């Protein structure tokens, strides 16, 4: 009976170590029009919607109205807000918080890093890319950073250690 309880407790402890957070996966794209104000070196966005090529967490979130912050591209790249883009679908909010922006101000191709956020998901590191087409439309996309997965050897060692503890406990109980 004690061995069964010990095994059950060990199983619960082991199961709790495998609780996995829900990171954001896949990528999202945006479309719309862009206004390039050369005097202030600022890009402003209008008619922004989620694009047709969305995968993972964003799959099926197409043609949804979104907000995109202005981007200043000279002398240094910067967003007018920490939130580069955001949109709401149902009760869920999706956004991208900017950490870095860089790019080529001559061609207005930009990239950066930041944090993808979505209701019900863990904040996830990601990358952002932007490019203009024909000077008045744009597409942008986000790609989450891959999440490291523990090596099977680490999990195997944990299992062997727990099994060893259970065996030692069983031997002690048999001696008594």
pLDDT value for 103: 78
Give the number of other CB atoms < 10 A from CB of residue 46. Answer: 10
b/e code 129-163 from CB counts within 10 Å (16+ = b): bbebeeeeebebbbbbeeeeeeeeeeeeeeeeebe
The backbone region for 87, taken as left when phi is positive above 0, alpha when psi lies in -120 to 50, beta otherwise, is beta
The Cα–Cα gap between 11 and 150 comes to: 19
The Cα–Cα gap between 71 and 81 comes to: 9
pLDDT value for 49: 92
pLDDT value for 92: 94
Q: Where are the domains of the chain?
A: 2-20+150-175, 28-144
- Highest mean pLDDT (candidates 5-14, 18-27, 143-152): 18-27
* pLDDT of 23 above 80: yes
For tokens 């945006």, what's the residue?
30
pLDDT classification of 86: cutoffs 50, 70, 90: very high
Strand 92-104, strand 109-118: pairing? antiparallel
pLDDT classification of 66: cutoffs 50, 70, 90: very high
User: What's the whole-model pTM score?
Assistant: 0.67
Token pair of 75, please? 């002398």
b/e code 97-112 from CB counts within 10 Å (16+ = b): bbeebebeeeebebbb
Instruction: Give Cα 98 distance to the centre of its chain.
Output: 12
The Cα–Cα gap between 127 and 143 comes to: 5
């Amino acid at each position: 009976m004690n061995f069964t309880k010990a095994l059950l407790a060990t199983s619960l402890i082991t199961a709790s170590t495998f609780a996995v957070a829900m990171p954001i996966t896949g990528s999202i794209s945006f479309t719309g029009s862009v206004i390039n104000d050369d005097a202030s070196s600022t890009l402003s966005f209008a008619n922004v919607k989620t694009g047709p090529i969305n995968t993972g967490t964003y799959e099926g979130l197409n043609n949804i109205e979104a907000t995109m912050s202005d981007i200043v591209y000279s002398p240094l790249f910067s967003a007018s807000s920490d939130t580069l883009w955001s949109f709401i679908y149902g009760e869920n909010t999706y956004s991208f918080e900017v950490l870095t922006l860089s790019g080529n101000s001559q061609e207005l191709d930009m990239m950066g890093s930041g944090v993808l956020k979505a209701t019900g998901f863990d904040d996830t590191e990601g990358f952002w890319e932007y490019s203009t087409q024909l000077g008045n439309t744009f597409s942008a996309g986000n790609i989450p950073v891959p999440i490291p997965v523990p090596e099977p050897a680490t999990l195997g060692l944990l299992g062997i250690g727990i099994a060893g503890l259970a065996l030692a406990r069983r031997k002690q109980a048999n001696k008594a």
